[in-house]
């Protein structure tokens, strides 16, 4: 329940920021704003200032900015009028360039919000937990049709030191570059037994997520970092700091070896040899099962803590802007990948699943600490905010971008558009939006049914 509340507040904040942009621009251009609400539904509390009623409404899912004369178009269409009757302060009574300013302000403030959030994160700094840049080929353990890393000549045990022209020192950095580079050729430099090699690879497209993948796992030393209380490993006597030397009478080199033994166990007791304080001892574990039916023993492995660089205020703003542009590029590329075989049932999400993910990301972060939780929460909000910026500027009727197109046509033609044309344009847009929303909500229902 807490996840849902956090998700609603997060998504609501992004929508509120968007509507705040419309409010500021409307006030600046002389358009009368009748009401500005934080939240939707029944009004809980309000006050009036400057001709605008400011409200707090019952449902904390964003808000709205109601401008004077917004329904004049529908009235003109119903009356079959050849023009829209306007009064001073009406939205349709403003000049086209003023309407464009108001329409673009919402998405623009979303982008600015993302820049500021990422800049604040850059100033404060953050730590992430990952593994080293040493890799294991998935093909060595799982029969895969595609393994770009193996095809490029990499082997299990190699250290990837650079990819796509970027120096890396952790598996997280490798993941970040690969995930945003599906179907794009990347240079790769790797080290094997002290010798450097170079090659090129093309990350395959994961049709479920749209991300790139090259078929590798991180090489994780089998050193226990933590044991879940009451888990099979806890009952068997595992302790943080134990190094797993062997499992089921087979020597293990990394955690994938351990996971393979557990996966094959089928609930049968497994003998483990661990090294503790320089001495070896045997522990026997009977794996349990997750809700999905997968065997587990309840241990976490040691990770590497990576600190972000330190930035001053100006440097942080530049970094926030750089990351925002990078996210925008990834959003645009992600849209293009929808036409490259990505599973729309997985890729297209509705409000319910977005809310769930915001709350889930925040909750997962908070389990690692308040700082990590806040970082995860606001970092994810910046991603949603930039996505909202881009999507709202698409030239689709009923979105801000579609309204901007109408205003630009009016500027070029130097005369107001006929209400019938504008109304039909809006109807087409509403049909498109409702169709996408229906499909997204249906996907959300399937997602929660499978969870």
| Angle (nearest 5°) at CA 130 between 117 and 119 | 15
| pLDDT the model gives residue 365 | 54
Backbone angles phi, psi at 73, to 5 degrees: -65, -45
Give residue 364's pLDDT: 59
Q: Any idea which residues carry the catalytic annotation?
A: 19
Cα 66 from Cα 74, distance rounded (Å): 15
State how far the Cα of 299 lies from the Cα of 229, in Å rounded to an integer.
10
Residue 40 near residue 63, CB atoms below 8 Å: yes
- pLDDT for the residue numbered 448: 46
Task: Tell me what pLDDT residue 379 has.
Answer: 78
Phi, psi of 259 (to 5 degrees): -60, -35
Radius of gyration (C-alpha) of the chain in whole angstroms: 27
Q: Which of 146, 216, 208 is nearest to 174 (CA)?
A: 216
Token digits for 218?
A: 């991180």
Question: What pLDDT does residue 212 have?
Answer: 84
Query: Which domains, and CATH codes, for the chain?
Result: 2-122+382-450 (no CATH), 130-218 (2.30.42.10), 224-299 (2.30.42.10)
Query: b/e map of 300-319 (b: 16 or more CB within 10 Å)?
Result: ebbbbeeeeeebeeeebbeb
Sign of the CA dihedral with 435 first, then 441, 443, and 449 last: negative
Q: Which residues contact 394 (CB under 8 A, 6 or more apart)?
A: 401, 402
**Is the pTM value of this prediction over 0.75?**
yes
Helices (H), 239-343: 255-265, 313-337
Residue 326 has a pLDDT of 85
Residue ranges of the chain with per-residue pLDDT less than 70: 1-8, 73-74, 76-80, 82, 144-145, 208-210, 334-373, 429-430, 433, 435-451
Which of left, alpha, beta for 323 (phi over 0: left; psi -120 to 50: alpha)? alpha
| Euclidean distance between CA atoms 170 and 231, whole angstroms | 29
Backbone torsions φ then ψ of 238, nearest 5 degrees: -65, 145
How many CB atoms neighbour CB 225 within 10 A? 14
Helix, strand, or coil (residue 249): coil
DSSP 140: G
Residue 146: the pLDDT is 74
Distance CA 209, CA 194 (A): 36
CB 258 within 8 A of CB 220: no
Q: What is the pLDDT at residue 252?
A: 92
At residue 248, what are phi and psi to the nearest 5 degrees? 55, 40
């Amino acid at each position: 329940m807490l996840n849902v509340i956090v998700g609603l507040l997060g998504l609501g904040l992004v929508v509120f920021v968007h509507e705040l942009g419309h409010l500021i621009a409307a006030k600046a251009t002389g358009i009368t704003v009748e009401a500005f609400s934080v939240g939707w539904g029944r009004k809980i509390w309000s006050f009036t200032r400057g001709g605008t009623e400011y409200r707090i409404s019952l449902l904390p899912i964003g808000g709205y900015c109601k401008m004077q004369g917004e329904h004049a178009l529908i009235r003109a269409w119903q009356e079959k009028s050849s023009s829209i009757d306007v009064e001073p302060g009406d939205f349709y009574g403003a000049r086209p360039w003023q309407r464009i300013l108001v329409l673009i302000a919402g998405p623009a403030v979303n982008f600015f919000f993302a820049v500021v959030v990422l800049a604040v994160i850059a100033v404060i700094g953050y730590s992430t937990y990952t593994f080293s840049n040493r890799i294991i080929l998935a093909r060595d353990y799982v029969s895969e049709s595609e393994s770009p890393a193996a095809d490029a000549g990499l082997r299990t045990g190699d250290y990837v030191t650079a990819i796509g022209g970027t120096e890396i020192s952790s598996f997280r950095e490798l993941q970040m570059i690969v995930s945003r580079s599906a179907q794009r050729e990347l240079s790769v430099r790797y080290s094997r037994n002290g010798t450097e090699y170079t090659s090129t690879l093309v990350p395959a497209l994961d049709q479920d997520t749209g991300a790139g993948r090259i078929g590798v796992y991180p090489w994780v030393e089998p050193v226990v970092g933590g044991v879940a209380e009451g888990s099979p490993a806890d009952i068997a006597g595992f302790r943080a700091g134990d190094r797993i030397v062997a499992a089921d009478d087979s020597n293990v080199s990394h955690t994938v070896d351990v996971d393979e033994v557990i996966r094959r166990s089928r609930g049968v007791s497994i003998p483990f040899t661990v090294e503790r304080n320089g001495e070896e001892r045997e522990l026997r574990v009977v794996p349990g099962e997750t809700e999905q039916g997968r065997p587990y023993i309840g241990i976490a492995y040691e990770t590497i803590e990576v600190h972000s660089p330190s930035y001053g205020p100006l440097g942080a703003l530049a970094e926030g802007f750089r990351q925002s542009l990078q996210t925008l590029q990834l959003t645009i590329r992600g849209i293009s990948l929808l036409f490259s075989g990505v599973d729309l049932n997985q890729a297209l999400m509705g409000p319910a699943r977005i809310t769930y993910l915001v709350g889930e990301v925040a909750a997962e972060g908070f389990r690692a600490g308040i700082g990590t939780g806040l970082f995860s929460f606001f970092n994810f909000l910046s991603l949603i905010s930039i996505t909202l910026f881009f999507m709202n500027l698409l030239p689709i009727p009923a979105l801000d971008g579609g309204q901007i197109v109408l205003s630009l046509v009016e500027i070029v033609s130097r005369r107001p558009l006929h209400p019938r044309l504008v109304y039909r344009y809006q109807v087409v847009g509403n049909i498109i939006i409702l169709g996408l929303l229906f499909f997204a909500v249906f996907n959300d229902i399937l997602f929660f049914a499978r969870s």
